Structure 1
Amino acid sequence: MRTSARRRHAWPCLLIPCLLALGACDGTDAGAGANPAAAAAAATTLGHDGAVVIVPERSPLRDRVIVAAVPSRKVEQPITAPGTVEALPDHLARITPPVSGRVERLQRALGDEVRAGDALFTLDSADVSAAQGDAAKARAAALQSRRDLDRQRLLFDADITPRKDLEAAQLAQAQSDSDLRTAQAKLAQLGASDATGRRLVVRAPVSGRLIEMSVAQGGYWNDINAPLMTIADLRSVSITAAVPEKDLAQVFVGQKARVLLNAYPDAPREGTVRYIGEVLDPETRTVKVRLILENADGRLRPGMFAKVLFSGPSHEAPVVPATALLQSGLFTRVFVEVGPHRYQPRQVTVGASLGDGVEVLTGLRAGERVVIREGVLLND
């Protein structure tokens, strides 16, 4: 019995040293497993020297971060203004009938090409008949006055009539000739020199295309101030841009401009400033600036909207890719290389966009090396 009790008390004494030995062995193995992971994490953690970010030697960021020198480029400051395609004023004719009447016949349809002198429509008008009657009376009166003058001249030469009768005949002949010229001028003004009866043929004053028509055949037209048809020569068109008052000092006649049409955004056109308006629009605070564009293909139509970019003054400035810029709150910054794998954040002010590049106004000098790709990974 005593021997059994002694054995029961001896087992705990033997187990404690074994457990302690096993615990020591487990602690050693765990420490050995944890140390390599900690070492790897420490190797990839970005370091700092004040504001400078340091990329460790074994960090994968060394291969991902791309650095390049900042180039200096010529930067233009273009002036942008909205524009509208318009027909040239001297290539546009609005046809208004000189007298009221009924449109008896239309010789041309909307969209037709016409040449100067082509018949457009025939008008049946009582005013034309009246004007022709007045001209006929004036011609008869002029003929009669010339005969009376010839008769009085023969009688005066024969000492049959006094001089005053001859002078009266001369005055009457001068007056009748004046009345005839007035009647003929009225017919010419109406365009009725070749009119017959009540019919007046209205002809095209210029060559071009019939772009508007406001009457149908058989309709009566009594407003001689409203155009019945419009003819435009659209081989050349005008781009009228509304340039803001603040930019007017940088626009001049002969300046080159680039025109981007809303209808054809992939087909820009080049133009030259021909005219700058003399009057400022008080509501929009803009001035009309006109360019002339060739339109041989007929794709430019009056009323189209466009954006006009006037070439501005150029200057040298550092330019960085857009990928180099990082937004930090309200500010923009870049990472500048200050040493091998050492980068310092720097706040910059940007200007004009130049395709995939951006002008830098302040904060950088040409020749400095900046992070142009994956700089966001340095924002720890």
Structure 2
Amino acid sequence: MFRFFLLSIVCLITIPGFAQFPESKPEDEPFLDIGVALRFNYNLSTWKEDQLERGGDFGFDIFRINVLAAYKGIKLNAEYRHYAEGFGGGMLKQGWFQYDFSEASQIQVGLNQVPFGIQQYNSNNWFFNMTYYVGFEDDHDMGIKYIRDTGRWKWQAAYYKSAEDLVFSAAEGSPDRYSYDILGRNKENNQLDFKVVRRLGDSLAHELGISTQGGLLYNLDTEENGTRYAGAIHYEYKTGHSLWNIKLQAMFYRINPEYAPGNNLNFVEMGAYGANYNVANKGEIYTAGIAYHIPLETRLLQGITLYNNYGYYNKRVSGFENSHMNVLGALWTAGPMYIYTDAAFGYNQPWLGPEWENAFTAGTPGDTDWHMRFNINLGYYF
């Protein structure tokens, strides 16, 4: 009879609830680690007059289950999330099979994180950074990825057949997913990624990296493939012994769909959390983040992390107004609870302003204002 080993979830300070496999364990002994999380959210948005009259809204955010398993050298990593129906309902955030060739190299097959840019997150806050909202931060696709990490060098190479396809046919993809993908009348397919990181310094705290990405884009109307590609350079300062975290990244992307004659060629649809919006075909995104952790030894609080994350989206399409995003806030650590308090400011950002469909294309030229959403996310992780 299988013997199962239930271990507590190891929570990382940046984003809690991220489980890890044990460093050493006999391969013929089964391993199972199950974690759960429950989160509630309060928000107050300056552009919603009815919400201001109510004093904000407080409700359900997410119930989450994480599973790690291993037997005979084959590992499993999966995370299933259930959001409110208005944000997509139930969805698989990630899920892959893994085999370790050695302590330095592994292969992952399934819905895994695309190796592009600063990972695991190009942000410290609950809202992520600008890169997330156009599909270049914490993106997960269906494919195979090889990782080799020798300490000083880490490189990853991946092939993705598709994004999180929920319908195996020539039909529009559903936006009921965790990470942003190109949807509507186009489907992502046959994508290649390569990323290399060089760690510098005696403590390997400085990470300098380059990422590249290229793939096809199948159009449902013309039944032809367009192309898409992107590149990034990035730097992160991080170490388990430091109170500081610094993230800097510059990236570009180009999307060339094969639209039917007469269609607008300047944007594509992207979607996640149950809804689509339009995104410019060309652009650059520049992001910068800084965080400082204050360790505490009180009965209630074990630490406070202060942070600021900024993103600038330069759209390379004539007539499209650029976008900005800045999140200033703090993460409060209290035992199994992680509490994010964020003041998120947006300028032509669909989640942070009244314009949804075209905030990442033309925006509202001549009539755009900065908007703010104050947000408190309460999460219990076990």
TM over 0.5: no
TM-score for both structures, normalised by structure 1: 0.15
* Greater relative contact order, per chain length (Cα 8 Å cut-off, separation 6+): 1
Between Structure 1 and Structure 2, which shows a larger proportion of strand residues?
2
Between Structure 1 and Structure 2, which shows a larger proportion of helix residues?
1
Larger Rg: 1
